Structure 1
Amino acid sequence: MTHNGVMADIVLNGGSLRCDDVVTFAAGKVHVAVDPGALAHVEDAWRLGLEAVVRRAVYGRTTGVGANKSVVTAGSAEDGLRLMRSHAGGVGELMTAEVVRAMLLVRLNQLMAGRAGVHPRVLNAVAAALNTNSLPTVHRIGAIGTSDLTALAETALTLVGERPWATGGVEPVDFGAGEALGFMSSNAATLADAVLVTVELRNLLHASHTVAALSYIALGGSPEPYARTVHAAKPHPGQVECAAEMRRLLGMTAVPLPGRRIQDPYGLRAFPQVQGPALDAVAYLEKVLTTEINASAENPMISVSDNDIYHNANFHTAYVAVALDTARATVHSVAELSAARLGDLVEPDQTDLPAFLASGPAGSSGVMILEYVAHDALAALRQAALPVTLGTAVVSRGLEDHASFSTQAARQAKRVANAYRIVLGCELVAAVRALRMRKANVVDLPVRTAYELAKSVLDPRLDDRPLTDDVERAAALLEDLDRSTVD
């Protein structure tokens, strides 16, 4: 269903948001709506938050925060304003509009679970901001994986009217007693970064099957390493998935015949065994993030069903950090195989084509420079793949003595995705060039549509020339290349 060219709303209820929904919304393709039943539950939690402070001490409502947890406060709305102002100290570059939209969507969905004690008027204001593309100005630096306090404080101050909107704007909304901390207790900005890059990595990994299949044809690969019998003997889910997809793309329907080589290089032969862990890691990461974007991270957490408030550490994102570290490491291994296949594509012994796929006078360089470009990107990827979970931080006078650094892990994941895209782009340029030179017959193969699409986008000239545009076009084409084989 569409309305004025815009797809139907995503209805938020605090429990059913998907990572793909976040990506679609961040791109500006849908509107958001809130579930009335869930909003009624939000109001019940708000009322309980007001009542609970009469019978017990509540962190951030009757006390200060952090190491000020034992300092008794007035518990007023003014206390909340001071909390917003003191925590709105983010620095550095600004978040992109896409990330801010994703952050607001995630936070609104979490609030819809009804455990933060924030009044429905605040949630309605966030929904109105999203549907009018009214976005706060939010700085990137200021979080360590235990709530995005600076980003959400800047957002809250914008909602109350103390900071200017970056785009658009909605009427200022009041935050009542205790609601500032309830709004700020979330890793929504980190989760926004993580969700966007996770879907990108998932799509790039799927596209890498198509790129590897084109290289397989150009290199005259052996089908034996992809045989069902081989992978049934070691049935890791991602490995089995990769081998099956390669069989589909390459039209392998029967018992495989021997290849032109008794043993292919690892870039072809070990592709399922290396790609498999990456597929599994990113799938697990997406599962973790789906839990997080539908979770209650607030401290304290209000439970209407228990008629009580719980002080807790759901704001800690160790799951996210560990899953991001694992995913980045596995993608690095896959990128190494892509660079290895590129090395095979420029080797005459592997292709029976001229060295560097050159065409022209003796000594022509062809695609020689692509190896340098790919390994530069691979080196950047390697640095970005280093784990963040080996370090921690002790802050707030020693009270908060551990940090996940999931925020940094998400930022590094985006660097990994950018570099991996370049490596795959280099391989694709070389594979398509080799197939042009070989005049390979791909008529009856499912991968043919991807090859035809790539040929229509990449420059057909074989003479020595700058390859910058080719690599950039190939890198931008990857997701469409993957979709072309299944549409």
Structure 2
Amino acid sequence: MAVIRVDGRTLRCADVVVAAETEGPLGIEIPATALRAAEQSWRLARELSTQRVVYGRTTGVGANKEDRVTAEDSAEHGLRLLRSHAGGSGDKMPAGQVKAMMLIRLNQLLAGGSGISPTLIGALAEALRHGAVPVVHRLGAIGTGDLAPLAETALALAGEQPWLTGGMPPVKVHDGDALAFMSSNAATLAEATLAALRLDVLTRASHAVAALSYLALDGNPEAYAGPVHEARPHPGQVACAAEMRRLLGVESAPKPGKRLQDPFGLRAFPQVQGPALDAIHYLRDVLAIEINSSTENPMISAAYGDAYHHAHFHTAYVSAALDQARATVHQVAELSAARLGDLVEPEFTGLRPFLAAGPPGSSGVMILEYVAHDALTELRQAALPVTVGTAVVSRGIEDHASFSTQAARAATAVCRAYATLLACELVAAVRALRLREADLAGLPAQDAYAQACAVLDPALEDRPLTADIAAGVELLDSLSRI
């Protein structure tokens, strides 16, 4: 069983993926120091609630912030908050994403700024340890707190909402627990993290796919030469060019290519891939901060002995980073479609149109362009920015939204579409290399070719390519590690 250390400070994006991909119980290790810090925050929150106004504990929420809640009514007030906010709708969130959300929320609570009761923290940890996953709906957030998904989770722990898998004995929701539990973007961060690491895999795999296309097209290695990229050393661009040189075995003086200048799909690959690599790196940095931050409003600071009302629920960093990542990946995806167009063109390959191998009029891989451009169109729609819009809710008191939730969903859609597009290019590149009986001996890219040949049907007659595309998608994880 995977064991993840949860201390409010050191959770990794990779740990979130492990949680999502682990079926059943999850090993959770919580240091005693983190539990003590959380308990100290809880005791301070209870004390402060008797001395001053504390939003969501002694008041209503949103536009009801001026409504005072009596001490006698505080427990029921918390349950009313959870019940009223557990209005999620739409499809059920996948179990893996819910587990990722639960892990992130547990880690944030252990950062010690929520003032939540140790009872609810312990219940959330035990749910993860037992593989219990609540029913959480997809719709109900706009990037200013995942109120509906987290309210549904809290009510499941309290015994008032159903479980998707497993179950746990109900626990008491203490005074002040409701807003403290809901005040987070853990569901959005879960989806964003899963998408970010998937995009990282896909962009790394795209180097191997592009290298196979380069070999099938007899590309010109000058475009990847070290001196070229030293002249304009953006980190991602330099890294992409170096990776292409490694895969193609052109670290030393390369032989000339077939053409003086290749089409942009090959020649401009580092310049277009570079921004995507940099954007995904930045996105991961943003998420690493978010999943290890105490973002609850109000923040109960044991270090300063006070409560602070703030706007950490606003996730502008996340939405902006996701917008940038999706936009840059879209540009790289366009190059993949362009290389696919080159691979079916006899002028570039010296082979028959559409890499056909049957009688005259055979269509070969013609359909791949249609599938690829269908996927590219979906990707293009998902790449549109969410940060150009806003929302005014709660009687005007909450007058801006980041829509990071929608940006994360769009990133998930980008992952699906880009994987399909890369698979189409891979199928065509491997077919071209097979038709040419290419000898890739001594090149690191040979490993990619061998793995692809092992799973792609070698038959060259006209036939459905659905299974080949699916196999190509499955292969991308392995290609990212070559």
Alignment partner of 1:64 out of 60, 82, 88: 60
Whole-Å Cα distance in 1 between the matches of residues 477 and 266 of structure 2? 21
Which residues in structure 2 correspond to 1:89-100 (within 5 Å)? 89-100=87-98
Unaligned 5+ residue runs, structure 2? none
Q: Which residue of 1 aligns with 2:50?
A: 54
Aligned residue number for residue 21 of structure 1: 15
For 2:479 and 2:179, locate their aligned partners in 1 and report how far apart those are by CA, in whole Å: 45
**Residue of structure 1 equivalent to 2:391:** 393
SS at match of 1:332: helix
1:258 to 235, 256, 259: 256
38, 42, 45: which one aligns with 1:42: 38
Of the three residues 350, 361, 384, the one matched with 2:359 is 361
The 5 A counterparts of 1:226-265 are 226-265=224-263
CA distance in 2, matches of 1:341, 1:165: 47
Q: Does 1:193 align with 2:191?
A: yes
What are the equivalent positions in structure 2 for 1:294-373 lying under 5 Å apart? 294-373=292-371
The answer to whether the 8 Å contact 1:450/1:482 transfers is: no
Instruction: Output one character per residue of 1:341-394: Cα deviation in whole Å (capped at 9) or x when no partner.
Output: 000000111011111100011111100110011001101110110001110000
Describe the SS at the equivalent of 1:140: strand
**1:127-206 mapped onto 2 (5 Å cutoff):** 127-206=125-204
Paired with 1:63 and 1:361, the residues of 2 have a C-alpha distance of 78
Distance 1:430 1:18 in 2: 37
What is residue 482 of structure 1 aligned with on the other side? 480
Shift of 1:256: 2.9
Alpha-carbon distance between aligned partners in 1 of 2:252 and 2:478, rounded to the nearest angstrom = 29
Match for residue 286 of structure 1? Answer: 284
Aligned length: 478
1:335-484 superposed matches below 5 A: 335-483=333-481
Distance of 1:57 and 1:379 partners within structure 2:
52
Matched-pair contact (CA < 8 Å) for 1:224–1:257: no
Q: CA deviation at 1:35?
A: 1.4
Q: CA deviation at 1:11?
A: 1.1
Q: Secondary structure at the match of 1:55?
A: coil
Q: Is the 8 A contact 1:25 1:31 kept in 2?
A: no
Shift of 1:255: 2.7
Residues 454-483 of structure 1, C-alpha deviations (whole Å, 9 max, x = no match): 000000000011111111110111111222
Please say if residues 116 and 182 of structure 1, whose CA atoms lie closer than 8 Å, have aligned partners that are also in contact: yes
CA distance in 1, matches of 2:416, 2:162: 32
Q: Does 1:215 align with 2:213?
A: yes
CA distance in 2, matches of 1:62, 1:253: 67
d(CA) in 1 for partners of 2:4, 2:415 = 27
Q: Compute the displacement of 1:252 (Å).
A: 1.1
Q: Which amino acid aligns with 1:110?
A: Q
Cα deviations across residues 377-427 of structure 1 (Å, max 9, x unaligned)?
101110110001110000001000000000000001111111001100000
Partners of 1:211 and 1:427 within 8 A in 2: yes
What is the Cα-based RMSD across aligned positions, in Å?
A: 0.9
* Deviation for aligned residue 1:54: 2.0
Letter in 2 for 1:41: A
Shift in Å at residue 231 of structure 1?
Answer: 0.3
How far did residue 258 of structure 1 move? Answer: 2.5
8 Å Cα contact 1:59/1:300 also seen in 2: yes
Q: Is the CA contact (8 Å cut-off) linking 2:423 and 2:469 kept in structure 1? A: yes
Residue matched to 1:73: 69
What is the CA deviation profile of residues 329-348 of structure 1, one whole-angstrom value per residue up to 9, with x for unaligned ones?
Answer: 00000000000000000011
Displacement of 1:34: 1.2
Q: Matches of 2:416 and 2:50 in 1, distance apart? A: 52
Contact persistence 2:189–2:291 (CA under 8 A): yes
Deviation at residue 187 of structure 1 after TM alignment: 0.3
Measure, in 1, the Cα distance between the counterparts of 2:206 and 2:28: 33
- The TM-score with structure 1 as length reference comes to 0.97
Q: Output the CA distance in 1 between the equivalents of 2:4 and 2:325.
A: 28
Q: Residues 386 and 403 of structure 2 are in contact (CA less than 8 Å); yes or no, is this contact kept in structure 1?
A: yes
2:282 touches 2:321 (CA, 8 Å); kept in 1? yes
Q: Is the 8 A contact 2:95 2:164 kept in 1?
A: no
Distance 2:19 2:409 in 1: 20
SS at match of 2:307: strand
Conservation of the 8 A alpha-carbon contact between 1:33 and 1:127: no
Quick one: distance in 2 between partners of 1:431 and 1:163?
51
Instruction: Please give the alpha-carbon distance, in whole angstroms, between the structure 2 residues aligned to 1:360 and 1:259.
Output: 29
SS at match of 2:49: helix
How far apart are the structure 2 equivalents of 1:247 and 1:36?
49
For the 8 Å contact 1:63–1:70, the answer to whether it is kept is yes
Q: Once the 2 structures are TM-superposed, how far is the Cα of residue 25 of structure 1 from its aligned partner?
A: 1.6
Further displaced range: 120-129 or 28-37: 28-37
| Deviation digits for residues 98-157 of structure 1 (CA, Å, limit 9, x no counterpart) | 000000000000000011001112111111101111011000001000000000000011
CA deviations 1:4-44 (Å, max 9, x no partner) are xx23x111110101111100121117511211111001000
Aligned counterparts of 1:251 and 1:123: Cα–Cα separation in 2: 53
Residues 161-196 of structure 1 show CA distances to partners (whole Å, capped at 9, x for unaligned) of: 111212111111112111110010000000011000
Structure 1 CA distance for aligned equivalents of residues 42 and 251 of structure 2: 60
Residue 12 of structure 1: aligned partner = 6
Answer yes or no: is the 8 Å Cα contact 1:160–1:172 preserved in 2.
yes
What percent of counterpart residues are identical?
63
Distance 1:390 1:481 in 2: 36
- CA distance in 1 between counterparts of 2:75 and 2:112 reads 20
